[in-house]
A and B are shown apart, each in its own frame.
Chain A
Amino acid sequence: MCLGIPGKIVAIEDEARHLATVDVSGVRRAVNVLPVEGNGPLEDLIGRYVLVHVGFAMSLIDEAEAKRTLEALNELGEAQEEIAAMRASQDALGTQP
Chain B
Amino acid sequence: MKYADEFRDPAAAKPLLAAITAAVDDLGATKDKPVSIMEICGGHTHAIFRYGLDKLTPEGLEFIHGPGCPVCVLPMARVDECIELAERPEVIFTTFGDAMRVPGSKKSLLQAKADGSDIRMVYSPLDALEIARRNPTREVVFFGLGFETTTPSTAFSILQAAAEGLTNFTVFCNHITVPPPIKALLDDPRMVLDGFVGPGHVSMVIGLRPYDFIAKDYGKPIVVAGFEPLDLLQAVLMVLHQIRDGRAEVENQYARVVPEEGNPAAIAACESVYEPRESFEWRGLGEIDLSGLKIREAYGAFDAERKFSIGYGAPRAKTAEPEGTMCGEVMSGRIKPPQCPHFGKTCTPETPLGALMVSSEGACSAYQQYGAIDLRRSAKAAVEPAE
Which residues of A come within 8 Å of B, CB atoms? 1-4, 17, 29-30, 32, 34-37, 51, 53-56, 58-59, 61, 65, 68-69, 71-73, 75-78, 81-82, 85-86, 88-90, 92-93, 96-97
Contacts and interface: CB of A to CB of B under 8 A. Distances in A.
B152 A3 contact: no
B120 to A, nearest CB: 6
B160 interface: yes
Interface stretch (B20-28, B124-132, B299-307, B342-350): B124-132
Interface in B42-62: 42-43, 46-47, 50
7 contacts: A1-B98, A2-B42, A2-B70, A56-B152, A86-B123, A89-B123, A89-B124
Given A1-B145, A2-B43, A85-B123, 13 more contacts: A2-B42, A2-B70, A2-B146, A2-B201, A35-B156, A36-B265, A55-B126, A55-B153, A58-B263, A69-B227, A72-B47, A76-B47, A96-B131
Per CB-CB distance, the 4 closest pairs between chain A and chain B, nearest first, are: A55-B124, A89-B123, A85-B123, A55-B126
Interface residues of B, number: 49
Given A86-B123, A89-B123, A54 B263 contact: no
A17 B133 CA distance: 14
Contacts of A85: 96-97, 121, 123
Contact of A4 (B46, B69, B121, B149): B149
B228 interface: yes
B361 interface: yes
B150 A1 contact: yes
A51 B201 contact: yes
A82 B125 CA distance: 14
B340 interface: no
B368 to A, nearest CB: 14
Given A35-B263, A72-B227, A92 B121 contact: yes
A75 B50 contact: yes
Contacts of B147: 2
A53 B153 contact: yes
B134 interface: yes
Contacts of B76: none
B16 interface: no
B126 A30 contact: yes
A68 B228 contact: yes
Contacts of B13: none
A58 B152 contact: yes
Contact of B125 (A55, A61, A75, A88): A55
B228 A1 contact: no
